[in-house]
Amino acid sequence: MKSFKTLKSIITPLDKVNVDTDQIVPKQFLKLVQKSGFGKFLFYNWRFGDDEQIKSDFILNNPKYKNSEILVAGDNFGCGSSREHAVWALMDYGFSVIIAPSFADIFFSNCFKNGLLPIILSEKIVEKIQHETGEVEIDLENQLIKTPSEQISFDIDLHKKTILLKGLDDISQTLLYEKEISEFEKNSTIPSVL
């Protein structure tokens, strides 16, 4: 996984609550067997109408936000299906940071496996950031969001922060605990399926 670097970008305000992963990447695009190329399907039914006609009233279709790397959304972002394709689509499209008052659990956990930074802030602050038109800097190391007018600090679990900053591969870390896992298996009461 790539390590997370400080970035500077304008924000894309997505003024919706309960954005579910069915909207982030609709089911007809879940049939690919690789992780790449999901960006073109991001928010597909909101971006495109019948015959793939571009819906000009949807925020992502405004050219102004084309290079934005920060998505700011409402409460309970990423609810519903566990599909990690949602995270792959957001990242492949170009987002590196999602800011919201809260995230659904599985989506939140999927973010950290791929280097996407979800930032939780109070509803009030999220609303303020949604109106920010200038460039915003995300400094994970110092846990700061720097807008043209102020600095906002955010909380993040130290373990998760380290994973993102170092771009750690979870599995190789876990396999260092081989001895502990084998020991656990020796004492387990749950039998094998077969």
Contact present, 99 and 72 (Cβ < 8 Å):
yes
Nearest to 98 by CA among 115, 112, 116, 114: 116
CB-wise, 6 or 45, nearer to other proteins? 45
CA 50 to chain centre: 28
Q: DSSP secondary-structure letter at 142?
A: T
Tokens 């690919």, located at residue: 32
**CB of 170: closest distance to other proteins in angstroms?**
6
What's the CA gap between 182 and 174, in Å, rounded?
12
**CB of 57: closest distance to other proteins in angstroms?**
13
CB-wise, 8 or 123, nearer to other proteins? 123
**CB of 153: closest distance to other proteins in angstroms?**
19
What's the CA gap between 122 and 75, in Å, rounded?
10
CB-wise, 45 or 151, nearer to other proteins? 45
Neighbours of 87 (CB within 10 A): 28
**Contact residues for other proteins, defined by CB under 8 A:** 15-18, 20, 22-23, 26-28, 30-35, 45, 50, 74-76, 79-85, 87, 102, 104-106, 109-110, 113-114, 157-159, 170-172, 174-175, 177, 180-181, 184-185, 188-194
**CB of 188: closest distance to other proteins in angstroms?**
7
